[in-house]
Structure 1
Amino acid sequence: MDRPVIAAMLMLFWSVAAAAEPEIRTDDVARFYAVYDAHGGRPSAAQLESEYLARGSQSLKEFAALRRVTGERIATRIADEPGIYEKARDCLAVLPGVERRLGESLSRLSSLYPEADYPPVAIVVGRGRPVGIVNPSGATIGLEALCAADFMHPDLEDRFVYVIAHEYVHTQQVAAREPPEPGHPDATVLRRSLLEGAAEFIAELVAGGVSNARHAEWGRGRELEIESAFVRDMRGTDLSAWTDNYRPGSDKPYDLGYWVGYRIVKAYYQQADDKRKAVKRIIEMDDPEAFLEESGWTPGMRLE
């Protein structure tokens, strides 16, 4: 057997083996609650900065820098909503089941996309948002934000599995790891929606569900209306109507760009003859306009 074949087999084996044991790190959570408990559940901004953030993992430092997480903002959120931090501690009990299911899901992804590489997932405690991001060290999940997000999925284990699977897909997307700056001509509604929609679709394909089940509920029966509005906005760089527009306590639809992007990606996948090649194309997508045209998607179209 020649070396290229052996190398390819080893790469496939490594990917599947890595997927079977996803690495989920919780050191930052333990550090946070040590500080939290030492100060009676009311640590000051200075204590959170010096004892938690400054001593945190590289993932936590990147998360804090990217999403403006400071000791002051965490302390303010603890004062305003102490319940979400008390609840979050108990959420870690689902992790054994989450790791098992993710191992199965990522093995499926590796079989469809052998190039997949799975960096660690770090679970941290932040200021109540975001639920998850991709950063240079891998994927990072905000424990208190995800635990409080009952509206995404009522079942906590499902919520963890689908959200982490979504973020794992982002770690495979060069376009998600190296996005254009907000306002850049390439940072369009279409680009962002397709990246998020791809993560939703692949997560559903390998794990059985999307990160936020409410999008389908909000969109059902309104496909033509919502997607016609999307077409009008999709080449612009104002994302405010389509992503990152959740308001705490509001029941109004938000992040509908994820849902429209998911439907465009699903349209592409359903018409593809070679499903493995379709998965590769979806993950490695770098030209949103070309992908949109190839998908055959039209506003309001019926999908299986």
Structure 2
Amino acid sequence: MRRSILLLLLVLSSTFAHAAIPPEQSSITTRQPVVRIDDVARFYAVYDKAEGKPSAAALQAGYLDAGSPGLQQFVTARISSAQKLADAIAKSPQDFRDARRCVPMLPAARDQLRQVFSALTKLDPQATFPPVTIVIGRNNTGGTTTSNGVTIGLEVICRSNWLTPDITQRLVHLIAHEYVHVQQPAAQVAPPANATVLFASLVEGGAEFIGELTSGEVLNVHLKRWTQDKACRVERDFQTHAMDTDMSHWLYNGPGTPEAPGDLGYWVGYRIARAYYTHASDKPRAIQDILNVNNDNAASFLERSGWRADEDCAAASAQSRRE
């Protein structure tokens, strides 16, 4: 076991060294951010030495203290302390054991992300490229995104089986989505007190749409399946509640089930953003409009998008009659 961990550390260190382009070089020439995966290897070195039951002291010394800047920020934002991390491992040991299966996919995901970032540069020449860091957190979030970068909690993403089953693609689509949030001014600040369902759905749906353009698929691909035969009802319901300020039925309410999907604001927001882009004659301008949606211009964006629930319902009805 110790030998396998040493080999894993060597592999991840080698791949990290290949990926770690200095920020100044990244922004000027390649437009590729640093993608760090070495924190994960450090975690499992500590984890294995303790036979899956690491103490807070061991986690602090061997994992957190030696961690990347992204991990240090994640400690403040989500992990809180080595003791809370140790408690999370003890509470849900299977999740941390299962996350091991995702580790071998990290280098391949990192390599595919180079194409994603290249595509984003073409779509948005103004894009910024802070680092991406993949870590093991305390099982309470799939990650955080700020203007300083994207940090992914691997143990959560690895168990998010409602997303695409291919772990490499799951990571790629997730990071593509989150990297769009890096470019959205509205995603960098707390939403206003009067934030509407429409506004929040356009922020998330815009990340879904541009993430699809850069990676080939949306993050929440399960919603494509789960909304089949329900699209008309969902869209009409959304249109009725678009200007509400209670988002609990549309966003951040969990994946739900195929019978009662959650996070449907992502799906409807994606369809509105896609319609906006499809109808736009100036595609580069449309990308900037999607990225710069805010609570004040969301209603105007919807009107200009050409998206109408009734039109989609009529199309679905016509399709049903043909079948």
TM-score (norm 1): 0.83
Q: What is the rounded CA distance, in whole Å, between the counterparts of 2:256 and 2:85 in structure 1?
A: 16
Q: Report what 1:298 is aligned to.
A: 308
Shift in Å at residue 279 of structure 1? Answer: 1.2
Task: Report the CA distance between 1:168 and its aligned residue.
Answer: 0.9
Contact 2:79 2:137 in 1 (8 A): no
Tell whether 2:243 aligns with 1:235.
Answer: yes
Cα deviation, 1:3-60, whole Å, max 9, x if unaligned, reads xxxxxxxxxx9567123xx421124323322332333211245654665446544423
Q: CA RMSD in A?
A: 2.8
2:156 to 131, 145, 165: 145
2:115 is matched with which residue: 104, 108, 118?
104
SS of equivalent to 2:31: helix
Q: CA offsets per residue over residues 167-213 of structure 1, 9 Å max, x none?
A: 111111111112326xx11x322222111101110011121001121
Partner residue of 2:299 out of 285, 289, 292? 289
The Cα shift of 1:249 comes to: 9.2
- Whole-Å separation in 2 of the counterparts to 1:34 and 1:253: 38
Q: How far apart are the structure 1 equivalents of 2:40 and 2:188?
A: 24
Matched, 1:267 2:279: no
Q: 1:208 aligns with which of 216, 225, 229?
A: 216
Instruction: Verify the 8 A CA contact 1:62 1:135 in the aligned structure 2.
Output: no
TM-score, normalised on structure 2? Answer: 0.79
Counterpart position of 1:86: 97
Residues 228-266 of structure 1, C-alpha deviation per residue, up to 9 Å, x if partnerless?
222333323322211221179998411111111101101
SS at match of 2:90: helix
- Whether the aligned pair in 1 keeps the contact of 2:27 and 2:129 (CA below 8 Å) is no
98-107 or 263-272: which moved more? 98-107
- Do the aligned residues in 1 keep the contact of 2:46 with 2:62 (CA within 8 Å)? yes
Tell me how far 1:101 sits from its aligned partner: 1.9
Q: Choose which of 37, 50, 59 in structure 2 pairs with 1:39.
A: 50
Letter in 1 for 2:298: P
Matches of 1:108 and 1:159, distance apart in 2? 18
Match of 1:169 in 2: 180
Residue 93 of structure 1 and its aligned partner are, at CA, apart by: 1.6
Structure with the greater alpha carbon radius of gyration: 2
Q: Deviations over 1:69-117 (max 9, x none)?
A: 5445433432343222123233122223222221112212211211112
1:278 aligns with 2:286: yes
- Match for residue 30 of structure 2? 17
The number of residue pairs the alignment matches comes to 287
Structure 2 residue runs without a partner (length 5+): 1-25, 316-323
Matched, 1:258 2:266: yes
CA contact (8 A) 1:224 1:301 kept: no
SS at match of 1:139: strand
Tell me how far apart the structure 1 counterparts of residues 128 and 171 of structure 2 sit (CA, whole Å): 20
1:116 to 106, 127, 130: 127
Deviation of the 1:160 alpha carbon? 1.0
Aligned-partner Cα distance in 2 for 1:279–1:15? 22
Distance 1:108 1:91 in 2: 25
The amino acid of 1:97's aligned partner reads A
CA distance in 2, matches of 1:73, 1:221: 44
CA distance in structure 1 between the aligned counterparts of 2:60 and 2:238, rounded to whole angstroms = 41
Of all paired residues, the percent bearing the same amino acid is 43
Shift, 1:218, TM fit: 1.6
> Does 1 or 2 have the higher relative contact order (CA < 8 Å, sep 6+)?
1
Gap change, CA 1:204 and 1:233, over 3 Å in 2 = same
The answer to whether the 8 Å contact 2:36/2:133 transfers is yes
Is residue 152–residue 211 contact of structure 1 (8 Å, CA) maintained in 2?
Answer: yes
Q: Structure 1 residues 169-178 or 216-225, which shifts more?
A: 216-225
Unpaired runs of 5+ residues, structure 1, are: 1-12
Counterpart check, 1:188 vs 2:196: yes
The verdict on how the C-alpha distance between 1:194 and 1:66 changes in structure 2, with shifts beyond 3 A counting, is: farther
Structure 1 residues 263-302: Cα deviation after superposition (integer angstroms, max 9, x where no partner) = 1101101111121221122122232222112112222543
Deviation at 1:159, TM superposition (A): 0.5
Q: Which moved more, 1:216-225 or 1:56-65?
A: 56-65
